[in-house]
Structure 1
């Protein structure tokens, strides 16, 4: 099975641990990792671990861009690089051992020109597979409706678009009528709607509105330790979180998406894919830094999640 992933604003993900974090003073760290990062690339990493094939479409430039290319090769990921003039960003996650808290730093990324993002769309039109996963933030210079343009490109070649973004990337991506599945976090859904969404019923209503409007066929809302919710024309499935001792939250949402698309590409129905996505998200939380989810943990949590009972009834 083969999919394509798109990362408009990728990053080199740097992570390490420090005993304590203080201002001004130099601090020593250990367990340093460098991984290729950004939403679509993270999805591809997990999808390939599960046994699928993913081609990464991404924009990169500068010295950091060359290093990102190398990291993708180290991870043995098929790649289609769209060169840009700007410098690829570096994101940092620091785990403070004394408090067991994680600190994450990221920048807005390089500015992308019109010719560069148009080149990306042209390359993506040649992508193979039944699914195109558009994941991550939009870089400066990329239009708000870029992910909607991606969905139209996918539709022209009979592929389904899976969207996982935030802010203008999420809003613009849902402005058209081409998204098969969208996976906002609860915070992202609140920002999109402008409503507090303080209980399950209002969350379900907000997600159902997106389905009725034709913005997406399926809406999977991740709610961290409170579980997740899947809404589509058939109704609402609300499941509790899988209990896990958290090591890092980096890439949990990307792993969730990877699990869902892997199950869908394997021919499983949307409800099964949703449960498998939750298992992948929980598995990612187990691993430190930017390690993401591993198959053995996903399968173990998938067995637990298979017997999880829905919470409540909404509609």
Structure 2
């Protein structure tokens, strides 16, 4: 366990509901029969953890705050420490969850099994809050789902806590938790087009309605930057005065796990490097796309991302 107290970090990521990601290949999905998988791969996963890993792949630095409980939590910590990323671990009584990703080589189909996170006590919640308050970063990335039994306003409470600081808060979550943080106001969100539609209380949004929907959130002072991921079509970045679109390059897709986290990590890194919004979006799309080129839960390869970014120029 690494606890870095002296150094200040411009970027801090928070993962309250991490997961030990297990991935394996198999051939042929047949009901009622035993499916034999190849040797599994284990990775430390969860929104903020993946964001920190993405930043590290771009030679950036971040402080990763995450929870860990039980034997599964210890395995997750061992996996994450191989990344040599600064971290502060908040120990929990309940066990960390597992996720499973299975790839059928015979049909080239991926199956993703996600499990809920266990409850976090009030004492553990207070420890999360105190840790963030003491760090005071330039960028705070709150990413991932919320644990079972935890209030949907937990992320909002963090935003309220940091409201009068100079910290720019980036939130990548969904559902009621995302709606709540918008009531307080944040710096950047990254919904997909379906999540944006829910924020607008409509069943669906067409591509030509994305910019107007994002502008409405900005005009309501809910957020300063809205990045809408469009899957294989790319992404749109919208601010009060600017709209940028970047098409996703065509690649052979092997896995979508961590693509969104890779995108967020790359964008936060680019923001911390004072890149233009156009470049921020290009880095996000290139790293998010590069993540789909790898199997399982490996995120992106830096060389792949660099090549895709250069090709965009």
* TM-score under structure 1 length normalisation: 0.92
Residue in structure 2 matched with residue 136 of structure 1 by the alignment: 144
Corresponding position: 1:187 with 2:222: no
> How many angstroms apart in 2 are the aligned matches of 1:293 and 1:150?
29
Q: Provide the residue aligned with 1:264 in structure 2.
A: 271
Q: Match of 1:60? A: 68
Which residue among 12, 18, 24 is the counterpart of 1:10? 18
Return the alpha-carbon distance in structure 2 between the equivalents of residues 258 and 274 of structure 1: 11
Matching residue of 1:49: 57
Task: Count the aligned residue pairs.
Answer: 305
Deviations 1:144-193 (A, max 9, x none): 2222222334444422111100112211221212x111001112222333
Aligned residue number for residue 211 of structure 1: 218
Secondary structure of 1:290's counterpart equals coil
Shifted more, 273-282 versus 237-246: the winner is 237-246
The residue number in structure 1 matching 2:209 is 202
Shift of 1:125: 1.0
**Shift of the alpha carbon at 1:27?**
1.5
* 1:283 corresponds to which of 266, 290, 309: 290
Alignment check: 8 A CA contact 1:197 1:203 kept = no
Paired residue secondary structure (2:135): coil
Distance 1:149 1:269, change over 3 A: farther
Calculate the aligned-residue CA RMSD, in Å: 1.6
In structure 1, runs of 5+ residues without a counterpart are 307-315
Secondary structure of the 1:175 match is helix
Q: Conserved in 2, the CA contact under 8 Å of 1:86 and 1:111? A: yes
State how 1:220-259 maps to structure 2 within 5 Å: 220-259=227-266
Structure 1 residue 106 and structure 2 residue 141: aligned?
A: no
The secondary structure found in structure 2 opposite 1:260 is helix
Q: TM-score, normalised by structure 2?
A: 0.93
**1:21-64 Cα deviation digits (max 9, x unpaired):** 22222121125210000000001011111111111111221111
Contact 1:46 1:255 in 2 (8 A): yes
Question: Larger deviation: 84-93 or 72-81?
Answer: 72-81
1:28 to 19, 25, 36: 36
Say whether residues 1:115 and 2:123 are aligned partners: yes
1:128, distance to aligned residue in structure 2 (A): 5.1
Moved over 4 A (4+): none
In structure 1, what is the Cα distance between the partners aligned to 2:87 and 2:261?
18
Contact 1:3 1:128 in 2 (8 A): no
Q: SS of 2:93's equivalent?
A: coil
Partner secondary structure for residue 117 of structure 1: helix
Matched position secondary structure for 1:234: coil
Partner of 1:286, secondary structure, is coil
More deviation in 152-161 or 81-90?
A: 152-161
Report the CA distance between 1:200 and its aligned residue: 2.0
CA distance in 1, matches of 2:269, 2:107: 35
What are the superposed Cα offsets for residues 239-277 of structure 1, whole Å, 9 maximum, x if unpaired? 322111101000000000011011111111222101110
Q: Does the 8 Å CA contact 1:12/1:90 hold for their aligned counterparts?
A: yes
Measured against aligned partners, the alpha-carbon deviations of 1:206-263 in whole angstroms (never above 9, x if no partner) come to 1111111111100000010122111110132223221111010000000000110111
Residue 128 of structure 2 aligns to a residue whose secondary structure is helix
